[in-house]
Structure 1
C-alpha cells in the first residue's frame, strides 16, 4: 500500500485491462472524408461542369475536371489529418490527471493511465479517475451528482465492508473537500461511469464571435454569388444564344465567387493554433481563447509557482530572540528544533504543498535518528476567518497529546493572545524578513487540559514558539516576460496571499512597478465595487488575498473595459477563471475544477508560458487575418474575368471551370498551409492589444482586399486587351492573360504573407510550404502553356516567351505599389509603445 504498484505491475495491468478510458468516436477513414467533400458546393459545381463538358463533346476536359475531385480530396484529407492529430493531442492533454503512488513515489499521471490496484491520492478539487475503495480519509466529501443527480455532496469514510458504498469513490465524481487514499478496483468500461454508457467528451467547440462573423460573411457572399450567377446565365444566353455555354459560364462564375476556403481555413487555423500552443506548454480548452489572447490588456498572475519556482526551502528561523539562517541550522539545532518540529507536526503527513514539504525536509534533516510515531486525532483546517492550521496528534509510544499550529503571523499572534508590545516586536521581524522576499509563517503549540477537543482551534491556549522564513526563488525568465508584457501594452498584476512587504520585494525583483499602490485582502473588503473600480488602474500588487476575492478583481477590471487574463489553481478560483476573458488554470498544482473552468491550462505553471501564449495568439490571429484578406483579394480578378465575356459578346471567354479549378489548387493550400506556417510579424509584442470590439473583417479590411484584387484585375485586363490589340488568337490571348493572373497571384501572395516585413525578407525566410506550393504553381503553368496535349485541354496556344514580359512587369508594379503602401502604413502603426 505504501509503495503502490511497480512499473512492471503497471505494464502488466495495462496489457490485461487496457487504458482507463471509454470508447470515443473513431477517426474518419478516407472514404468518410471523401463523403464530406461530396457534400461541398464546390464539389457539386465540379460535377455539374464536368457533365456539361462531356455533353458538349469535350470528353477530355470533362474527365480531367472530374478527376480534379481526387486532388481536392487529397488536399482535404491532408488538412483533416493535421487537424485530427492536433485535436487528439489536445484531447489527451485535457483528460483528468491523477496523483498515484508508483514505486514508492507520488507521481501525477494522465487519468487514462490509471490501472486496477493503483493507489490514488485524492485532494480537494480533483476529478476521481476510476472506481476505488477508500482505506484512509480526512474530512473527505465527494460530489456524485454526475452519477446520481443528487446535488448534496456525500461524506465518505474508509470502510472494512467492501459492499458499503460509503467507502467507495467513483470515476468522474469530484472531491469537494478533504483528502483520501483509494485503491482502484475498476477502470474504463468496468467503472460505474462506463456501465451507464457515458462517452468521452470531445474538445469543447463553441460558436465564437469569429465563427459568427465568418458565417455572416460567407452567407452574404453566397447570396451575392447566386444572384450574379443567375444574371450571368441570363445575360450570356441573351448575348450569345447558347444555353449550355451560358450555364457553363454561370457555374464558372459561381465557382469564382463561392468562398469555400473560409470555413476550411478557419477550422485548420484554430485547430493547429491550439496544437501550437500545446507545444509551448499551454493547453487550449476553449477555441475562443485564441481569438481573445491578442486582445488581453491585463494579466493577473499568482505569485507562487507561476512567478516563482514553487520550490520552497526554510531559509531562516526566529526563536523569539535571535534569527538563525539555513547555513547555521546544524550548529543551532537545539534553538530551532522545537519550532521546526511543531511546524512539521502542523502539516500534512505526506505533504503536497511546497511549504509543508520544506518543513518536512528540514525536520528530517534535524531528526536523523529520531522517528517518533504520532497518530492524528483531529485537524482544524485553514479558513477565511482563521488563517492557521492546527493538528492534534497523539504519541503512540507514551500516549502524550500535542497540539501544533502554523499560519499567518497576525493570526497566530491573536491565537496566542500576545500583548501589543510583543506583537509589535515580532511584526518588525516579519517585516524585515518580508523585505528580503521571505514568506513568513508563525508557529505555536498548545497543551491539552482535557480529553475533549474543542470545536474550533481558537479555543486552545496557544504558546508562541517562533517564526519561519521560507524562500521561493523567482523563475529566471520572468523579468524578461514582464518587460515583454509592458512593451506589448499588457499590464501585469501580481496577486498573492503573502505578506505585503514580501509581495513588494518579489514585485521589485521581477520588474513590476512597486511605486503603484498595493492593496491587501483586508483593504479590499472595505472598498465598495465602485471605489475598487476607480482605483484599480493604479494597482499592480494585491497581497493577503484569498481566492474568493479574485472574482471582485476581475469584475472591477472588466468594468473598466479591460480584457482580463486571470490565473488560478484552486476550487475557489473557478468563479474568477470563468468570469475572466481568459481563464488560465495551473496544470501541475491546479485542481481539475480550475482546469474545467479555465480557457487555457498552463502545463508547466510558468508565467513566461502565458506571455508566449499571448505572442503566439497574436501570430495566429495575424496569419488568419492575412489568409482571409488574400482569399477575398484573389477572388476579385477571378470574378471580374469570369463576368466580363458574359457582357461583351466580341470578347473571347477567358476563365473556364478548369482554369478556376487550377487556381483553386494554388489558393487552397496557400491559405490553409502556407499562411498558417508563416512567421510572426516584426514588433508583434511592441504594439497595443487588439481592440476586441473591432471586427475581424471590418469594412476597411474588406476594402483593402478589394483594392488589392482590383489592382490584379486591372493589370490582367490591361494585358488581356493588349494581347487582343496585338492580334493574337483567342487561345494565345487566354494563355497570356491566365499567365498574368497566376504570376500576379504569386506576387500578391508574397506581399500578403507579412504585414510588417517587406517581400525580400519574406523570400529569404524558411517557409518551405510557400516555396513548395509556389514552385509547383510555376511548373504547372509552364507545362500547360508549352505542352501541346495540355494546351489543348486548357484551350491555350503558346505565344512565345517574350509575350510574358508584360505579365512580369505588371505584376512587379502591383508588388511595388503594395509594398510602398505597406511601408507607409507601418511607419504610423507599428511604432514601439512608449
Structure 2
C-alpha cells in the first residue's frame, strides 16, 4: 500500500524504528494469497465429504425406522468423525502455511546505514533496496543510480526484450521506475521503494491469484483415479444390495440402511487424506531440515534420482571464503603480513574489482582482508561508473571508478587467471609462469583468482563495450581457502550406497576441483573434464564420456544444460544444484532442480523444485532420504487402506448372502473409521526410516504406487483377515449364540484384524514393539482395545452397538485368530522372499 507518511526517506535508507512504524501502519508487502483455508472453510469442506453425507443419511433412516436412540448415537459419532477430520485437515493447512512463510523471498535493504537481508514482506515505502542481476524486484521503486540496469518486464507488459532503467536524471522521466515481480537481467543498482503489496502494478492484478491451484502430482492423479474406480464399484454394489434386500425381504428402509452401510465400508475416502497429509507434513519436516519443497512432484522424483550434480563452492565447501595468500612472481604473503608494495597494490586492485555492496563470499573475503592489512586506504569521493559483469565469454568482473574529481577513470578486474592473462595480453613465457603458479596454488585446494588494473584517460570517448577495450596491467594472484563442509564425505558415501552417483560441477581451476573432489570422496576425482573440452564434443561422445567422469571444471552455465541432456540420454534421473540466472534452464531441465536459498538468485529459486535454505550438500542427501521415507510411508498407508476394506466389506455382505441378520451397522463403521483415519494419517505418517532406506537402488520412475504386486498383496492381507472374521462368525453361528453375541464376536475379530494390518504394514518386526514405535500407534491401539472391551463386555455400552457379551474364551479366540493368520502369512512371505514392505530400523 502507499505510504502513510509524506516525508521523503533519506537516500541512505530508513532506520529500523522508521521501518517498524511504517510496517505497523501500512502492513506487510504481500500479494493476495491463493485460497488460504481457515478452520471454517475446512469445516465446510469436511461437511461435504461423502462419508459424512452417508452418516447423515443413515441417521435419517434410523429416525424413519422409529429408532431415535440409534439416530442420536450415530449423530454423536458424526461429531467425532468431523472433529478428527477437521483436526487432520487443519494440521495439513498449518504445515502448508508454514511452508509459504518459509518460501517468502528475501530482499537486500539498507537499514540504519547498513546493507542487510530481510524478508521481502517487511519492506516499506521509503526503504532503499539493492537490486542485482538475477533478482526478482520485491516492490515498486525508483532507481537512484545511473548504472546499466536491464529489466525483463515481460510478465507485466508482454514485451520480450529487456528494458534499461536508471536514475531519472540520466534515463529521463519514468525511466527510473522498476516494478515488483520484474527481473533484473543485467547490472545492479540502489532503488527507493514507492509502493508495496496490492498498491504495486502487479498487486493491482493480483486478485487472479485467489483462484490458482498447484497442478496434481502423478501420484495424486493415480490415487484420484483409484478412488474414482473403487467409489463407482462400491456405490454400484451398494445400490444392488439395497435393491436386493428390499426385494427379497420386503423391508426397503432396512435395505437402504444395508446399502448405506456397505457404501461406507467400500468408499476409500482415506486415500486423498493420506496424500494431502503426508505430502504437506513431509514437506514441512523437510523444510525444518533446510530443504524447502516448492513443487510436490519433487518428493516423488527424489526416490528415483540416480545422479546428483552438485556445485563445489558453498555446497560441498563451507562457502566461508578467506583470502590466505597473495602471489606475484616470487613474492608470496598473507594479507595480514604485507610488506611488499606490489602485493599491497594487488590487494587494493582486487578490492576495487568488487562492487560497493556485495554479498558474494569472495568479495567479503577481500574486503575483510584489506581492512586488516596495511593496504587499506580511504579515498573520499570515489564513485562507481560502470560494471562489466561476468559473462560466458570472459570469466572476470570489471569495475570502473571515478576517483574524486580526476578526469581519468580507474579500472579494476578480477577473475579466472587465464581470463585475466588474456586481458593483460601476457607473453608466452610470462603467461606460462603465472599459470604454473596458479596450478601449484590450486593443487593445495585454494581457489585462485587473478587481478589486473587499467586507467582510462580519454574522457571524450565512450567506454568500450567490453573490458577487452582497456589496456590492463597484471597485478598478481589471490588464493582463497574454502574448507569442505562438515559431514559432506559421509553424505557422499551415503549417496553412493543408495545407488546415487555424485558429479561435481565447478567454475574453479581443475586442480582445485580435483583436490576438493578427493576430499569429498567422489569415485573418480582425477578424471576431470574442462568446460572448453565439452564444447568440442558432440552429443553422442559427451553421453559416453559422462558415464565415467565425476568432475567437471571451468564449467559455464550453458555447459550444465549440455551435461543434463547427456545424462538423460543415458537414462539417468538427474538432480542438479544451481544458483545463478543462467543456471535456470539446467534446473528446469533436471528431473529435480535444487536452488541455493542463501546465495541463489530469485530466478534460480523459481526454476527449481527444491530450495536449500543452508546451501549444504548434506541437506541434499538428507532430502533424498526423506523423500524415500515419505514414499515408503505413503505405500504403507495405501496397502493398509486397501487391505482393511476387504474384511469390512466382507462382513457387511456375508449375512446378506446367507439370509442372516446384518452384523455391521453404520455406527460400527464409524468405530472402524476412528481407527482407520488416525492410523492412515498419524501412525504411518510418523514411521521412521527403514533400516535399508539408503542402501536400496533408486526406485524406477515407471514403478506405480498401485502396481499389481501392491494391489494383490493388499487384497491378500485383507482376505486373510476376512477368512479369520468369517471363521469366528461361523463359530458363533455353530454355537447357536444370539445374534448380538455373534455380532460382538465378529466385530472383535474385525478390530483385531484391523490392528494386525497396521502392525504388518508398519513392519512385522520386534523393533516395532521394543524399539522406535511412535506414541501415536500405542495411543491408537490402547484406545481401540479399551473401547472394544467396553462395548463387547458390558451390556450398557453394548446396547448402542446391538452387542451382548459373548463367552470370554470365544472373545479371546476372536482376538487371536486374525493376528495368527496375518503372522502365518507374514512368515510364509518372508520364507518365499516375496516383495517386502520397508521396515523401520531399531531405535
2:3 match? none
2:756 match? 747
| Count of aligned residue pairs for this structure pair | 827
Tell me the alpha carbon deviations over residues 633-685 of structure 1, each in whole angstroms, 9 at most, x when there is no partner.
00000111111112111x33221222112111110111011111121111211
Q: Distance in 2 between matches of 1:52 and 1:274?
A: 43
Summarize the alignment of residues 41-120 of structure 1 with structure 2, pairs less than 5 Å apart: 41-120=50-129
2:620 match? 610
Q: What secondary structure, in the 3-state scheme, does the structure 1 residue paired with 2:359 have?
A: coil
Tell me the alpha carbon deviations over residues 100-124 of structure 1, each in whole angstroms, 9 at most, x when there is no partner.
1123332212111111221110011
Tell me the alpha carbon deviations over residues 530-564 of structure 1, each in whole angstroms, 9 at most, x when there is no partner.
11112211111111011122111111111211111
Deviates most, 708-717 or 246-255: 246-255
Q: What secondary structure, in the 3-state scheme, does the structure 2 residue paired with 1:746 have?
A: helix
Deviates most, 332-341 or 557-566: 332-341
1:826 to 1:418, Cα distance in 2 relative to 1, 3 A? farther
2:371 match? 364
Q: Distance in 1 between matches of 2:36 and 2:423?
A: 61
Q: What secondary structure, in the 3-state scheme, does the structure 2 residue paired with 1:192 have?
A: coil
1:133 match? 142
1:365 to 1:808, Cα distance in 2 relative to 1, 3 A? same
1:171 match? 180
Tell me the alpha carbon deviations over residues 372-398 of structure 1, each in whole angstroms, 9 at most, x when there is no partner.
243334433322112223333332165
Q: Distance in 1 between matches of 2:753 and 2:29?
A: 55
Deviates most, 446-455 or 485-494: 446-455
Tell me the alpha carbon deviations over residues 124-181 of structure 1, each in whole angstroms, 9 at most, x when there is no partner.
1111111222212421112223333333222101125999321122222221211010
Q: Distance in 2 between matches of 1:427 and 1:460?
A: 22
Summarize the alignment of residues 394-793 of structure 1 with structure 2, pairs less than 5 Å apart: 394-396=402-404, 399-448=407-456, 450-451=458-459, 452=461, 453-515=463-525, 517-649=527-659, 651-754=660-763, 758-762=765-769, 764-793=771-800
1:393 match? 401
Q: What secondary structure, in the 3-state scheme, does the structure 2 residue paired with 1:622 have?
A: helix
Q: Distance in 1 between matches of 2:615 and 2:11?
A: 29
Q: Distance in 1 between matches of 2:511 and 2:624?
A: 30
Is 2:164 the partner of 1:146? no
Summarize the alignment of residues 791-810 of structure 1 with structure 2, pairs less than 5 Å apart: 791-810=798-817
Tell me the alpha carbon deviations over residues 554-605 of structure 1, each in whole angstroms, 9 at most, x when there is no partner.
1111121111111111111111111111111111111111111111111111
1:394 to 1:26, Cα distance in 2 relative to 1, 3 A? closer
Gaps of 5+ in 1: none
Q: Distance in 2 between matches of 1:212 and 1:245?
A: 37
Q: What secondary structure, in the 3-state scheme, does the structure 1 residue paired with 2:317 have?
A: coil
Q: Distance in 2 between matches of 1:80 and 1:476?
A: 38
2:392 match? 384
How far has the Cα of 1:493 moved from its partner? Answer: 0.7
Is the contact made by 2:47 and 2:82 (CA closer than 8 Å) also made in structure 1?
A: no
1:828 to 1:725, Cα distance in 2 relative to 1, 3 A? closer
Q: What secondary structure, in the 3-state scheme, does the structure 1 residue paired with 2:685 have?
A: coil
Q: What secondary structure, in the 3-state scheme, does the structure 1 residue paired with 2:284 have?
A: helix
Is the contact made by 1:24 and 1:199 (CA closer than 8 Å) also made in structure 2?
A: no
Is 2:285 the partner of 1:313? no
TM-score (norm 2): 0.94
Gaps of 5+ in 2: 1-9
How far has the Cα of 1:367 moved from its partner? Answer: 4.2
Q: Distance in 2 between matches of 1:41 and 1:163?
A: 63
Q: Distance in 2 between matches of 1:382 and 1:281?
A: 29
Q: What secondary structure, in the 3-state scheme, does the structure 1 residue paired with 2:478 have?
A: strand
Is the contact made by 2:408 and 2:456 (CA closer than 8 Å) also made in structure 1?
A: no
Is the contact made by 1:204 and 1:285 (CA closer than 8 Å) also made in structure 2?
A: no
Q: Distance in 2 between matches of 1:59 and 1:296?
A: 58
Q: Distance in 2 between matches of 1:825 and 1:280?
A: 39
Where does structure 1 differ by over 6 angstroms across 4 or more consecutive aligned residues? Answer: 825-831
Is the contact made by 2:580 and 2:601 (CA closer than 8 Å) also made in structure 1?
A: yes
Deviates most, 653-662 or 194-203: 194-203
